[in-house]
Structure 1
Amino acid sequence: MPRIKFNTEVISCRFADDFETTGRWKVTSRCIADGSDKAVKEEIFDAVIVAVGHHSDPYLPLKDFPGIEKFSGKVIHSHDYRDYKGFEGKRVVVIGLGNSGSDISIELSWHAKKVFASTRKGTWVFGRVGLNGVPLDNWIFTRYQAFLTSILPASYREQQFKDYLNSKFDHAKYGLQPNFGPFRQHPTLSDDLPSRILNGAITVKPNVTHFSGNRAYFDDGTSEELDAVIFSTGYDFSFPFLEDSLLQRKGNDCALYKYVWPMGLPHSTMAVVGHVQALVSINPLAEMQSRWVTSVFTGKLKLPSQSTMQKDIDKKKAWINNRFYKSHRHHMEVDHIEYIDELADVVGCKPNLLKLLFTDPKLAYKVFFEMCSSYQYRLHGPNACYPEARKRIMAQSESALYPLRSRVSTAKNPGSNLMLYALLVAIFALFCFML
């Protein structure tokens, strides 16, 4: 791969001398292969994509935990956790119960003497296994569900999901239920956490107020003697090779048009890819961002005016402030389908449901009611491949259940009127799209 250079550290990325007229960038880098520290090299590039992610710098709020500096046991961030080795037979507190904190607590609960999961606000736990045993993605990330969210009151939808999550296990009884709904924070994904709490392998505790020696004191007045503390408190992000003013960064917030384009540049030759967060994997979002970025870089698409872009940034910030509780992590949250559709509309590859209804109704049904995968954005527009995309969409539900085919059961479950109900909703939804 002659066009790709691995083992290369970027030291800085700055305007080239002719940036005002060409939009080019001067990138300073060095090779770090085999531990060597070779000569620094400067190169000129026509465009730059920043794709370092937002999980680069561990967020370690030690100042919020007085006495931790005198704790003689092991203190690490989840970023440095590799496996349970070294924690066998220990009493461990995991501070923070997001996805990393949950996974670490579960693994340690099989090996440590005792695991305490400390959470300040609580969390809603989504199981990866959804209704009827299908993957969560397959029934929650559909255009049908997105349509319901768009037409029903937010309070009603939130209560629906509260009821669903509490039907799996009562979050309040488990000491996990927050004082806000499941749409107001980035959720925790875990199927094993409830069972490990239920059998006592993990004990849920409130926030740690302070440490004294090797003892942690909690909000409820209790305390525990500990051997190790693991901070699962999330991440900050940084772009050490860029000046903060370039992305107008303030703390964990950046002024990026649709979380991609820096503001105030005379040329659209720098983009940020992957600096966004949704419940799903980052890959489908980053793919659509990349399609947009390359179309702009090659001159096929143009960005709107600075004032239009600023209005969009302000609108998205207002949406986040209204939707999520205030936190250092909630600055780049998006709803999966709505965000990709927004970018796909610009790129010109958003699926046309109305057209599909008349030309390929079976496919239209799959696109509306089944998981919204990246295949849908290859049906129309640039780089489309309708036959292959259609084939993948028609088979994706069965493909998701492929691991279950090791033993085929001859038993049959009775059907329901759900299909008729879903068809009526689909007709209504398509009618709304026509308006």
Structure 2
Amino acid sequence: MKIAIIGAGAAGLAALRRVLEASTEALPIEAVVYEKTGKIGGTWVYVPETGKDEYGLPVHSSMYDSLRTNLPKEVMGYPGYPIPENSEKRSYLTRTEILAFLESFAEHFKLREHIHLYHNVELVEPVGGTSEWKVRVRDLKGDRSLDVRFDAVMVCSGHYFEPAIPVIKGADKFKGETLHSHDYRRPEHFAGKRVVVVGAGPSGMDLALEISRKATSVILSHHSTEEILTQFPANVSQKPDIVEMTVNAVKFADETEAEVDAIFYCTGYKYSFPFLSRAAGVRVDDNMVAPLWKQVISIANPTMALIGLPFYVCAFSMFDLQARFVLKFWTNKAQLPERSVMLADHEKEKKDRFEVRGWSKRQFHMMGPLQGEYYDDLARTAGVEGLPPVLIKIHNVSSKRFLDDLVHYRGDRFEIIDSDNFTSTVAQ
């Protein structure tokens, strides 16, 4: 069996580890990872450049220079390979520490020999009349394209690289600067400016705080029904959504307006798979990727899996669990349901999210309070080991601390006692 893995970030590395482990004498598996950049680590690789790279491709990473994780390291390791303790016993790590961990993971499991750097996947399509896939990949350094056949494909390309920018009346009239967080690197960029940060998700909250140290004033514009209670610096205020832009000002939903120098969009990202042919059978509809069974296996072509779509999760552990889930079926250790059953599961999931919970398509892959149920369902369905409940407990506590005390929460410390229990020390 020959499996293609697209992307050598945290999801691709998790998938590659499990693919190599699944290879046996009875069913030898060859794994090939295609990574379009020159390094492993995906979005954790910081590059100061924005726009296009040396090969004319869009810069993939959205990493900014000062980033520290917004989840503690105790929930960010892989099963059987946790992030080691540091000398200061810090739970919240820098981007360089996470990247070093991913590099150590790749070395420990001898993954590098299977990874082809500077190889950009241009097309993935099923080969008609067969069970194979054709993957067209561009060898960027060799400046040539290759068509390679595979039995299965794991898409591990991430979803933090294609900016989502809202449509706002008058945006074309605004003469100030507009920037999406994808292209943000350092706070000095906003020195002395009056800035509106659009969006109060994790990045919007973090970046409003960070740029407030350099900007003259920061307005955090969001559509949360309740005011965010965290204590921001004095030069940060909150406003509802922007309803209109003018040449040098913005108007808010509360009928107030403010003169500003820059609009900073922290409005998230679009799921994007430009290399997937229509025949692959997966569509993105208002950021809902479908139809997928259990949010991971393509129902139209079950030998394709998309690892890592759900968000507000214990990401690295979830990538690992999804890979083990998929491989149980691909190696015939478990039997996939009929297509009609998978479609019925997918429709049931849509009904729960849309009708019962009142969520939108854009929230389809959101887990948060549902993540424990999702992990348990994957483990139970495929007969694989699940994730320890302590991960979800720490995730929930740390997420609440983020909302309650944005300024200090990264000083909190966590320690896992066993699969159910942990201790924590709250920063003052």
Question: What TM-score, normalized by structure 2, do the two folds share?
Answer: 0.62
1:268-302 per-position Cα deviation (integer Å, ceiling 9, x unaligned): 3211111122x333222211110011222222122
Instruction: Report how far residue 230 of structure 1 moved.
Output: 0.6
CA distance in 2, matches of 1:401, 1:308: 43
Residues paired across the two proteins, number: 291
1:50 aligns with 2:159: no
1:78-104 per-position Cα deviation (integer Å, ceiling 9, x unaligned): 111112112111100011111111111
Q: Which runs of 5+ in 2 are unaligned?
A: 1-111, 395-415
Instruction: Report how far residue 372 of structure 1 moved.
Output: 5.0
1:114-155 per-position Cα deviation (integer Å, ceiling 9, x unaligned): 000001234xxxxxxxxxxxxxxxxxxxxxxxxxxxxxxxxx
1:60 aligns with 2:165: yes
Q: Match for residue 261 of structure 1?
A: 297
1:29 aligns with 2:137: yes
CA distance in 2, matches of 1:31, 1:262: 27
Task: Name the SS of the counterpart of 1:213 in structure 2.
Answer: coil
Task: Name the SS of the counterpart of 1:20 in structure 2.
Answer: coil
Q: Match for residue 205 of structure 1?
A: 239
Structure 2 residue aligned with 1:105, among 192, 208, 212? 208
Query: Mapping of 1:86-165 within 5 angstroms?
Result: 86-122=189-225
Structure 2 residue aligned with 1:306, among 323, 332, 339? 339
Paired residue type of 2:272: S
Paired residue type of 2:298: P
Name the structure with the higher strand share.
Answer: 2
Task: Name the SS of the counterpart of 1:239 in structure 2.
Answer: coil
2:132/2:151 contact within 8 Å kept: yes
Q: Which runs of 5+ in 1 are unaligned?
A: 123-171, 177-192, 353-366, 375-391, 405-435
Paired residue type of 1:394: D
2:375/2:386 contact within 8 Å kept: no
Name the structure with the higher helix share.
Answer: 1
Instruction: Report how far residue 20 of structure 1 moved.
Output: 3.2
CA distance in 1, matches of 2:243, 2:203: 21
Q: Match for residue 218 of structure 1?
A: 252
Task: Name the SS of the counterpart of 2:186 in structure 1.
Answer: coil
Instruction: Report how far residue 315 of structure 1 moved.
Output: 0.9
CA distance in 1, matches of 2:292, 2:244: 38
Q: Match for residue 48 of structure 2?
A: none
Q: Match for residue 341 of structure 1?
A: 376
Larger Rg: 1
Paired residue type of 2:214: H
Taking every aligned residue pair, what percent have the same amino acid on both sides? 31
CA distance in 2, matches of 1:401, 1:251: 39
CA distance in 2, matches of 1:272, 1:395: 28
2:371/2:392 contact within 8 Å kept: no
Paired residue type of 1:256: L
1:49-78 per-position Cα deviation (integer Å, ceiling 9, x unaligned): 0112233311112xx322222222210111
1:20 aligns with 2:129: yes
Instruction: Report how far residue 37 of structure 1 moved.
Output: 5.9
Paired residue type of 2:250: A
2:176/2:247 contact within 8 Å kept: no
Structure 2 residue aligned with 1:38, among 107, 129, 143? 143
CA distance in 1, matches of 2:425, 2:199: 35
CA distance in 2, matches of 1:348, 1:65: 48
Structure 2 residue aligned with 1:272, among 273, 291, 306? 306
Paired residue type of 1:7: Y
Paired residue type of 1:24: E
Paired residue type of 1:203: S
1:341/1:350 contact within 8 Å kept: no
Task: Name the SS of the counterpart of 2:129 in structure 1.
Answer: helix
Question: What TM-score, normalized by structure 1, do the two folds share?
Answer: 0.61
Closer, same or farther: CA 263–397 of 1 in aligned 2, 3 Å: closer
Task: Name the SS of the counterpart of 1:235 in structure 2.
Answer: coil
CA distance in 2, matches of 1:330, 1:275: 11
CA distance in 2, matches of 1:351, 1:81: 37
1:348-407 per-position Cα deviation (integer Å, ceiling 9, x unaligned): 23579xxxxxxxxxxxxxx67x44599xxxxxxxxxxxxxxxxx8638956x65999xxx
CA distance in 2, matches of 1:373, 1:45: 39
Q: Match for residue 7 of structure 1?
A: 118
Q: Match for residue 109 of structure 2?
A: none
Instruction: Report how far residue 326 of structure 1 moved.
Output: 4.3
